[in-house]
Structure 1
């Protein structure tokens, strides 16, 4: 089971208001995340959604993982292996809480077992978590926010973990292997009753995250059979699962923005933010949405009415993989990524808004992906090999504009 002993990155969205018009990564607020940028140790960092304002929360020599914001955005609970117990060859994970400014560190659990994957209740009075204190595997517990009165909710032969409170506090979604593979379940937050397997799929499903209105759950799954995990969303009762991402790397651990309009997730050790419908592509007049779907067996660019989803048209209709659509400012064209040349690399293409006259723009030696038009329509930004490039809209003069040791992806022009 994917416990925090093996997870690479968790991202959680803090309160966001007054979004700026800079695409899904625009807006105010803070992200808490875990990173191993300090010589391989896992630490909790904070940053703005656009990647600026990066700061370490609590410098330590331990591994700190799985941050969870308190509902008021003032505190963060997380797991840490900073406490050694006499006789142990490896430290156990315990739960700690800290103020968002890095002060007031407090230890919540003090036993010799592992306590992992903490998450606050919506009213801030309780914390759910997974622990192996009573069994060989992990079970879900709930305790008061100060660490008192722990209550066991699950009791199964398979490991249970990754609890997620529903917005109204009445239910907890979690992951369990009790039926032989990782599935997303839901139960009463009061006593663990009313257990329901929501995913009921032969694939691996994990990382549940409730939408703020409680109507949907985002999660990660490899159910497409491609071997990679992608972000999916389903109704709160498990119906109508829909794939949102088409990442070339495993996309995992979704987290909704407080207004429900965006979802943050990690892929290939980096943080991404997308709109909650998986798209980045409203037509300039707001009447249509271009999106990617595998409904016909491979990734294609479709367009539909933004009002009700009617008028569905497959624009690319190609045996290749096509994704990342971006409208030109005048609404007459769509740029996208495709591997239709057969070389194995993705390149930036452009086509008319009705799908006609596809034209290849880039000849990059690395995959060129996720185009974004300049506001005047004269240029297109894109990413390739972890760097940002800008070219003229006819594909001429591609110019690399970033050159750092880190990966730079998903460029978005400010209107």
Structure 2
């Protein structure tokens, strides 16, 4: 069984394996289709509607030292209590997204992937003007050369054959006013926008069905427009035997705020300097300003992570484990085997390192090694992955490497035996013990469901209870060292909440966070960016990212590796 939480590294391996199987590999090719679309987010929608929506402007207000709102209206305008006047797309990556949703089909078998391929960009600008009860002007532009899905091969293929470097922008311009009726705060309005859609050198008249809601300090707009690829000259050749359906859906979910108001901050010349680094904006489109670290700051301990070595070519890249210590400018490789090593996990005393080994074209296995990667030994027979230690070091949690329908297993380290402790179909990603060893946190996507949430269970696997209920995917729960806070990913953003699920607060926006890990003192979190396309090119793909637990001081550090993944901070 293939998982939503499977790393992009594994996705590349399976794509390569499927290509090698040729015509005899229909089953494997379908598995690749499943994997390449299983991360698909829900359709665009307003916040609270069950789709991929946005929180209110006050919750997404940009810090005053970050980028300005995307629009050209002067911030000196005065606005009344109603929605009349000018609005611009919120800045700092908080303004939402524009993207596509498309079916991928096994070309010669007419087998459609169970989920759509979805690509999005948060590099969006736009403006609205409301006069009385009518929307009289609207224009939205999206940087489509920054589109990213969850598979980088797909993104580079689309960019190349659509010529997005030559046609980097798509624009919708309203052609005639829209009657909105009497404004009422918090009420969803269904409207139809008729105008011109321009992309890839072609312009067509379109009728865009939309939903909108005025929240007082913001306006949310969401919608989906089916189009035919051929109408816009989107000739996308087959990729490894897969083709894109003729009809695709363009979708958007945008947050508009008042020029110069919260969520529409003034730009700053540069980010403030942080420890061990110099102020420098991140080099990729769509990345908020961040300090680039020259070395891991003093007092920050040590991190383990997976690194892909070399450059793409025939066959999978070597995946090895690396260590980065405080004061180091470059990580040190600690494994070099025929396995593809991934998903490192430190014991609570920091003396041992568990990890997943992926033999070539075989199910994954769990291993335990010394803190320096020495003397690796297989932990238990059978296919398991994503290890997580118990505080006493006597056991390790893991999930099945092939079948997610059996839940979470607990491995006795000394005996080398495993027990199915959490019996729940659809457990995904790394489970995690609380620091006191009494509770297990994990994410669960119930069979047939479309809402992955975070759950808790007692250490013996009983008393399973749901902790989060947001419509967005919520996964990768990570306990703070004191056990009072849980870091997790919601819809690609990094969030924190209390251990009881209350007080959720967002730390990042627009970064597509993956694999957060706490520093031993609980003051910082490290993570990687799991996005693709221009969101994950060059330094972004090769970087560890850091942010303070209060949401300030975004930093990154790049290495001479093709890609890094699954950081794990060594306990102090």
Match of 1:319 in 2: none
Is the alpha carbon distance of 1:6 and 1:251 closer, same or farther for their aligned partners in structure 2, counting shifts above 3 Å?
closer
1:344-359 equivalences in 2 (<5 Å): none
Match of 1:271 in 2: none
CA contact (8 A) 1:185 1:196 kept: yes
Match of 1:231 in 2: 544
Match of 1:217 in 2: 525
TM-score relative to the length of structure 2: 0.38
Match of 2:400 in 1: 80
1:157 to 471, 476, 491: 471
Query: How far apart are residue 16 of structure 1 and its match?
Result: 4.9
1:213-362 equivalences in 2 (<5 Å): 213-221=521-529, 226=538, 228-259=541-572
Answering whether residue 494 of structure 2 is matched by residue 194 of structure 1, we say no
Residues of 2 paired with 1:144 and 1:195: CA distance? 22
Matched residue of 1:96: which SS?
A: strand
Residues of 2 paired with 1:248 and 1:5: CA distance? 17
Is the alpha carbon distance of 1:154 and 1:234 closer, same or farther for their aligned partners in structure 2, counting shifts above 3 Å?
same
CA contact (8 A) 2:404 2:426 kept: no
Q: Deviations over 1:323-381 (max 9, x none)?
A: xxxxxxxxxxxxxxxxxxxxxxxxxxxxxxxxxxxxxxxxxxxxxxxxxxxxxxxxxxx
Residues of 2 paired with 1:153 and 1:93: CA distance? 20
Is the alpha carbon distance of 1:91 and 1:143 closer, same or farther for their aligned partners in structure 2, counting shifts above 3 Å?
closer
CA contact (8 A) 1:97 1:107 kept: yes
Residues of 2 paired with 1:257 and 1:117: CA distance? 16
Match of 1:117 in 2: 430
CA contact (8 A) 2:476 2:488 kept: yes
CA contact (8 A) 1:81 1:93 kept: no
CA contact (8 A) 1:77 1:95 kept: yes
1:61-76 equivalences in 2 (<5 Å): 62=383, 64-76=384-396
Residues of 2 paired with 1:163 and 1:108: CA distance? 18
Answering whether residue 513 of structure 2 is matched by residue 205 of structure 1, we say yes
Answering whether residue 345 of structure 2 is matched by residue 12 of structure 1, we say yes
CA contact (8 A) 1:95 1:116 kept: no
Is the alpha carbon distance of 1:175 and 1:93 closer, same or farther for their aligned partners in structure 2, counting shifts above 3 Å?
farther
**RMSD value over aligned CA atoms?**
2.4
CA contact (8 A) 1:57 1:102 kept: no
Match of 1:3 in 2: 5
Answering whether residue 370 of structure 2 is matched by residue 56 of structure 1, we say no
Is the alpha carbon distance of 1:81 and 1:65 closer, same or farther for their aligned partners in structure 2, counting shifts above 3 Å?
closer
Query: How far apart are residue 80 of structure 1 and its match?
Result: 1.1
Residues of 1 paired with 2:507 and 2:381: CA distance? 39
Match of 1:136 in 2: 450
Match of 2:407 in 1: 94
Matched residue of 1:244: which SS?
A: strand
Matched residue of 1:41: which SS?
A: coil
Residues of 2 paired with 1:172 and 1:255: CA distance? 15
Query: How far apart are residue 71 of structure 1 and its match?
Result: 1.1
Residues of 2 paired with 1:5 and 1:128: CA distance? 20
CA contact (8 A) 2:363 2:401 kept: no
Q: Deviations over 1:94-135 (max 9, x none)?
A: 101012224342111224443542100010000000001284
Residues of 2 paired with 1:229 and 1:102: CA distance? 38
Q: Deviations over 1:167-226 (max 9, x none)?
A: 11111101121xxxx111111111x111111112x2322211011111111111266753
Bigger RCO of structures 1 and 2 (CA < 8 A, at least 6 apart)? 2
CA contact (8 A) 1:13 1:258 kept: yes
Q: Deviations over 1:252-284 (max 9, x none)?
A: 11111112xxxxxxxxxxxxxxxxxxxxxxxxx
CA contact (8 A) 2:353 2:373 kept: no
CA contact (8 A) 1:12 1:255 kept: yes
Is the alpha carbon distance of 1:125 and 1:207 closer, same or farther for their aligned partners in structure 2, counting shifts above 3 Å?
same
Is the alpha carbon distance of 1:103 and 1:224 closer, same or farther for their aligned partners in structure 2, counting shifts above 3 Å?
closer
Residues of 1 paired with 2:432 and 2:398: CA distance? 8
Residues of 1 paired with 2:5 and 2:409: CA distance? 17
Q: How many residues align?
A: 233
Residues of 1 paired with 2:356 and 2:524: CA distance? 25
Residues of 2 paired with 1:58 and 1:152: CA distance? 30
Greater helix fraction, Structure 1 or Structure 2: 2
Q: Deviations over 1:13-71 (max 9, x none)?
A: 22457xxxxxxxxxxx21100111265211111112333211101111x3x11100111
Residues of 2 paired with 1:91 and 1:72: CA distance? 26
Stretches of structure 2 lacking an aligned partner (at least 5 in a row) = 11-341
Residues of 1 paired with 2:466 and 2:567: CA distance? 26
Match of 2:65 in 1: none
